[in-house]
Chain A
Amino acid sequence: MSREIEASRYRANDGVEYLRVGMAEVEGVVEDMTKAGTRLADLFGSMEDEELVIRLVYGREPEPSYAVVQWPVRGGGYPPLSEVAPAAFVEECEIYEQFGLKCSGAKGLNRLVVPPHAAPDFPRLAHRPGRQAPPPHAPHYVTGEAIEFPVGPVRGVGQESLYMGLVTSGEELIDLYLMVWHKHRGIERRLQQLRPQQALFLVERAEGLSAVGNSWAFCRAVESITDVMVPEAVERTRAVALEFERIYNHAASLAALCQATSLTVGQAQAEVALEELLRLNAAAFGHRYLFGVLAPGGVTRGPDVGVIRERFTMAVDELRRVAAALRSTNSFMDRVEVCGVVSIDDARRLGLVGPVARGSGQDLDTRRDHPYGAYRDCRVEVPVRTAGDCLARMEVILAEVETSAALVTELVQAGLRAGSVDLPPAAGAALGWCESPRGESLVWVSLDREGRIRRARLRPASARNWRAFDDAARSRNVFTDIPIIEASFWLTVAGFAR
């Protein structure tokens, strides 16, 4: 690494290291990082003083730090990062859609959130349409023996809208691609100019099933800009809310797995457990899906410790019994085994997070690797499996339920309380992170001098993990395996499309 890059390093008080580099050095830095095995966690653009700045976020596990590499784009284009780090491809497409900037090289890009029939003035974060724009996205052909079989965007009862193009030669699945622009609500754009307190409302609703995870990451970013310390008992309350969220999501994933394998009775039992957990959420925190619990600077609602003490173990026991019954049901186990395999290599290459990554041998968990809040004082066991199939993911989530249950008991013992600290007005930018039920959630926030959001980048775990879905679906599977794989990934389209 050159001397200038070394000179531009500085470590912010939140433990994030910032590297400012020039256009010429980007490729070298990315190559070095990739060779060293550093995990590319995110890549995004941001307009700052009429100039596009691109940032790469690296997780440097096992070292407890993130590195943010940033460079201003001058002239057109930037080096094709996805050739070195394949995890960057989805974000390269995103930067092209949102900022009209393509990496050099003639690689075709995929469509993300801009619909095919969008008018040229379709709003973006900053777009300067060229005079003669080439077709924006890679052409898509299916030839030979295969046909394309469209599923969606309107899907089964109680499922999110998602268009899946299944490329098949009959029964076997050859390829699969996803379209999520039906659900793009422009949340990142909407967040601009809002105050953090107002913005939280939308951050929670970007992905309702990870409301606590994403909003905690957001709150952490804001608190690190404003230099606010949240009292320990309040941080513990946040952690309890997060573990509640994790447990109910895992129960929901189990119910979805049963549904996908047509084990109706198992589904009903898992849903009983899920409903009990949601009622416990409402009783303890005042909302079934834990909306409005966190606020920048603290916790606004709950918790009712008596209710947690009285009912938590019972609710989790319910889930445990369902899991035990599932394990002894051969027809179920046969369906999830060797289904939807994500190889260890793919999981690393694509930068996956959460239970999907942990089922494929990636030993990652921000609660342990980048301890924050109450997790600084807790020991977090991270279950890892290496098979990479639906069964491995299921075993990971079941083990995580145990970890979460133990954490809740420990945190409640240490004492909880609600309360919040007022945020002083402050300008600046910071990264926030949190281990949501689906994995590492990252939020990058930049506030202007009046304390309004200049740019908020939300990167829920769903935005990360969908990119492995096609690989998983392709691995020697047939049509009917797709719902099983989807249930075991347990991602949301809402979080991906935002």
Chain B
Amino acid sequence: MAVWFLRGLRRGVITTRYPKAIDSWTASLPTPPAFDARRLTPAVADRLVDVCPSGALIRDYEWLVLDLGACTACGRCIAVSRGVARSSGAFELSTTERGRLIKRIRLRDDVR
């Protein structure tokens, strides 16, 4: 048993300090997309909606509806968006209200 005890001592404390501080490795976690509102046109939005495998992106007239609950952070929308979408970096998304996970993003109808 001594072998285990010594190993534990040598390692020291490795437990996360969360929620007091967030570990730096979380930067590499997949996270839901965030959008560049200036370039989010209906055409781009349709492309993103089309590629979403989980139904987390829905087009509602002049809005793009992002359901963070359904989003699996697969990154497919980011891959086809040509820079309009990026990874948001937000992983602390827990909520008591399902509705709070639904974000509505206004599309712009012209490209400057």
Contacts and interface: CB of A to CB of B under 8 A. Distances in A.
A and B touch in the complex (CB under 8 A): yes
Contacts of A292: 30, 74-76
Nearest to A286: B30
A382 interface: no
Interface in A287-333: 287-288, 291-292, 300-301, 321, 325, 328-329
Contact of B28 (A269, A286, A291): A286
Contacts of A283: 25, 28
B74 A201 contact: yes
Interface stretch (B2-10, B37-45, B63-71, B95-103): B2-10
A279 to B, nearest CB: 5
A322 to B, nearest CB: 8
A268 B28 CA distance: 24
Nearest to A291: B74
Contacts of B72: 201, 291
A84 B80 CA distance: 52
A301 B73 CA distance: 13
A286 B76 CA distance: 13
Contacts of B5: 265
B89 interface: no
Interface in A405-433: none
Given A266-B4, A269-B7, A279 B75 contact: no
A329 B75 contact: no
Interface string B5-43: 101100100100000000001001110000000000000
Contacts of B11: 272
Contact of B8 (A265, A301, A328): A265
Given A292-B74, A300-B79, A328 B3 contact: yes
A421 B78 CA distance: 18
A219 B61 CA distance: 36
A282 B28 contact: yes
A198 interface: yes
B54 interface: yes
Nearest to B51: A197
A435 to B, nearest CB: 25
B53 interface: yes
Contacts of A325: 3-4, 7
Given A201-B54, A265-B4, A321-B7, A301 B25 contact: no
Q: How large is the interface on A (under 10, 10 to 19, 20 to 34, 35 or more residues)?
A: 20 to 34
Contact of B75 (A198, A266, A300, A321): A300
A219 B100 CA distance: 37
Given A269-B4, A286-B75, A201 B25 contact: no
Contacts of B79: 300
Contacts of B8: 265, 268-269
A461 B75 CA distance: 28
A266 B74 CA distance: 34
A288 B76 CA distance: 17
Nearest to A283: B28
Contacts of B7: 269, 321, 325
Contacts of B29: 282, 288
Interface in A336-370: none
Given A279-B25, A292-B75, A287 B53 contact: no
Interface in A198-254: 198, 201
A325 B1 CA distance: 9
B74 A282 contact: no
Nearest to B14: A272
B97 to A, nearest CB: 26
Contacts of A300: 75, 79
Contacts of A328: 3
A300 to B, nearest CB: 6
Interface string B77-99: 00100000000000000000000
A265 B3 CA distance: 11
Contacts of B4: 265-266, 269, 325, 329
A287 B91 CA distance: 13
Contacts of A279: 25, 28
A98 to B, nearest CB: 25
Nearest to B26: A282
Given A272-B11, A287-B30, A292-B75, A329 B3 contact: yes
Contacts of B1: 265, 329
A360 to B, nearest CB: 30
A269 B76 CA distance: 36
Contacts of A321: 7
Interface string A253-275: 00000000000011011001000
B15 to A, nearest CB: 10
Contacts of B76: 292
Given A279-B25, A282-B29, A286-B28, A198 B53 contact: yes
Nearest to B74: A292
A488 to B, nearest CB: 21
Contacts of A269: 4, 7-8
B2 to A, nearest CB: 10
Contacts of A287: 30
B39 to A, nearest CB: 22
A344 B75 CA distance: 45
9 contacts: A201-B53, A201-B54, A265-B1, A265-B5, A279-B25, A282-B25, A282-B28, A282-B29, A292-B75
Instruction: List the 7 closest A-B pairs by CB distance, nearest first.
Output: A201-B53, A282-B28, A265-B4, A283-B28, A292-B74, A325-B3, A279-B25
